[in-house]
Amino acid sequence: MKHIRKTRKIPDTFQNLEKWEVNRRSFLRSALVAGAATQITWFTSCSAKLEEANDFLTAEQSTILKSILMIIFPDDGNGPSADDLNTFGYILWVLSDNYQKPEDRDYIIEGLDWANETAQEIYFEKYVELDSEKKEALVEKFTELNWGKNWMSIMITLVLESALLDPIYGGNKDEQGWKWLEHVSGLPR
């Protein structure tokens, strides 16, 4: 019995080299655009998260929070301030975190309202209308009140987190907290 061999035509990769080069360029261009598009999605989701976090706070609450943070971690020359660390931005990130318990998020926000109510009870003015001395005295007074002890503890924890965590979480801007403490982060982060 005689076997008949069928010959297959083997494609010649280099038969049309110019066409192959054009296809390779098109492929690489498409891959580059696709890769960039995946990163754009990630960046826009992060910025959208911060914008959503602003929906949690009113302008007055934001002003109160920024003021209290600067009293806790002031710009006094002994290291980075809450502003330098972007602690406010970090707290916005915490508020927008989907894994954050709603009651924990609400407690942070309610504390800002309690701060304003306490200012009105003691000084008969809104917190934002107080001078800096009264604001500092009021923040010190918070630690004597039942709600204030726990709430200030959370605020101090958030300030310290903003100084120590990786900058990808919104705080520790330009790694200032790490530089201040002479911390060298491990890689990979």
* CB-CB contact of 150 with 103 (8 Å): no
Q: Nearest-CA neighbor of 69 among 100, 106, 94?
A: 94
Give residue 77's pLDDT: 85
Cα distances from 106 to residues 67, 99, 103, in angstroms, run 19, 14, 5
* Separate counts of helices (H) and strands (E) for the chain: 8, 0
- The pair of three-digit structure tokens given for residue 114, joined into one six-digit string: 């309690």
Instruction: Determine the Cα–Cα distance for residues 189 and 180; give it in Å rounded to an integer.
Output: 19
16-49 pLDDT per residue, tens: 555 555 555 555 455 545 554 444 444 444 444 4
Low-confidence residues in the chain, pLDDT < 70: 1-54, 189
Give residue 52's pLDDT: 43
**Residue 136 DSSP one-character state:** H
Give residue 136's pLDDT: 95
Q: How many CB atoms lie within 10 A of CB 185?
A: 11
Instruction: Determine the Cα–Cα distance for residues 33 and 36; give it in Å rounded to an integer.
Output: 5
> pTM of the full predicted structure?
0.68
Q: What is the chain's percent helix, strand, coil content, to nearest 5?
A: 70, 0, 30
Q: How big is the CA angle at 101 (ends 114 and 127), to the nearest 5 degrees?
A: 15
Residue found by looking up tokens 């009021």 in the block = 138
Q: Nearest-CA neighbor of 169 among 93, 105, 80?
A: 93
